[in-house]
Amino acid sequence: MAPQVPDSPPAPIASAVSSHAVEADALTRAQAGDHQAFAQLYSLHKRRIYSLCLRMVGNIAAAEDLTQEAFLQLHRKIATFRGDSAFSTWLHRLAVNVVLMHLRRKGLQVISLDEAMEPAAEERPGRNFGAPDLTLAGTIDRLALQRAIDNLPAGYRIIFVLHDIEGYEHNEIASMLDCSIGNSKSQLHKARLKLRDALRGFPRKEERR
């Protein structure tokens, strides 16, 4: 006799529905001041928020501090969440803002308007920036790329992480960083160029001397 097949959705779908229901329930209770429910939200989102912080600052100790600050802010503000976006989206944005505030306090100049408006001065004509025998040819060493991203200047890294890894659009980044959309595009492009140079062992000269 064939085994009984339970009449239920495939496991991943069932799991997603269940996870969503758990979060919705925990959120409602946490908004009403239930500390246990807040702990539940932490457990549900801690990995994503910690990983985000780690990517943005590239430093474990700082990522831990910022994750703590993000959840403290969440605790303070959770009652103000109205469901205009998904909770995870709202929390993610809150954490990004915490990291950006931290970097600003440290004096990070995320954006230099002068630099961004300079028409790619670093791309001097005649430079051998793309000879076919030197291209990355679709193969990138993961450790080398990780190291190259970690070594990006903070301003470049932030925009690269927000756009290429976290999936934010330029208009969202411009809003978060209080810069123009063109500026965001320009900085992202420069970040990618710096990564390319790093991966090819070719340090890019400073833009303007």
Partner 1 sequence: MTDDRKNLSCAAFQAQLPELIGSGENVAAHPHFQSCELCRALLADLETIAEAARQLFPIVEPPDELWEQIESAIKNEDGRTDSGPTGQD
Of 110, 115, 72, 116, the C-alpha closest to 94 is 72
> Considering the rule CB under 8 A, would residue 205 count as an interface residue with partner 1?
no
CA 170 → CA 160, 167, 192, distances in Å?
A: 11, 9, 15
Q: Footprint of partner 1 on residues 37-76 (CB under 8 A)?
A: 38-40, 42-44, 46-48, 50-51, 54-55, 63-64, 67-68, 71-72, 75-76
In this chain, which stretch among 2-10, 32-40, 92-100, 102-110 interacts with partner 1, using CB under 8 A?
32-40
Cα–Cα dist 68/3, whole Å: 48
Cα 197 to Cα 7, 193, 203, 205, distances in angstroms: 55, 6, 6, 10
Of the pair 93, 196, the CB lying nearest partner 1 is at: 196
**Residues 6 or more apart whose Cβ sits within 8 Å of residue 129:** 123
Q: Which secondary-structure segment (H or E) carries 8?
A: none
Q: Which amino acid is at 58?
A: G
Position 154 contacts partner 1 (CB under 8 A): no
* Piece in contact with partner 1 (CB under 8 A), picked from 3-11, 80-88, 102-110, 138-146: 138-146
Q: What residue type is assigned to position 46 of the chain?
A: K
Judged by CB under 8 A, the stretch of 7-15, 105-113, 136-144, 201-209 that binds partner 1 is 136-144
Q: Interface with partner 1 by CB under 8 A: which residues?
A: 22, 26, 35-36, 38-40, 42-44, 46-48, 50-51, 54-55, 63-64, 67-68, 71-72, 75-76, 119-120, 123-125, 129-132, 135-136, 138, 140, 142, 145-146, 149, 160, 164-165, 170, 181-182, 184-186, 188-190, 192-193, 195-196, 199
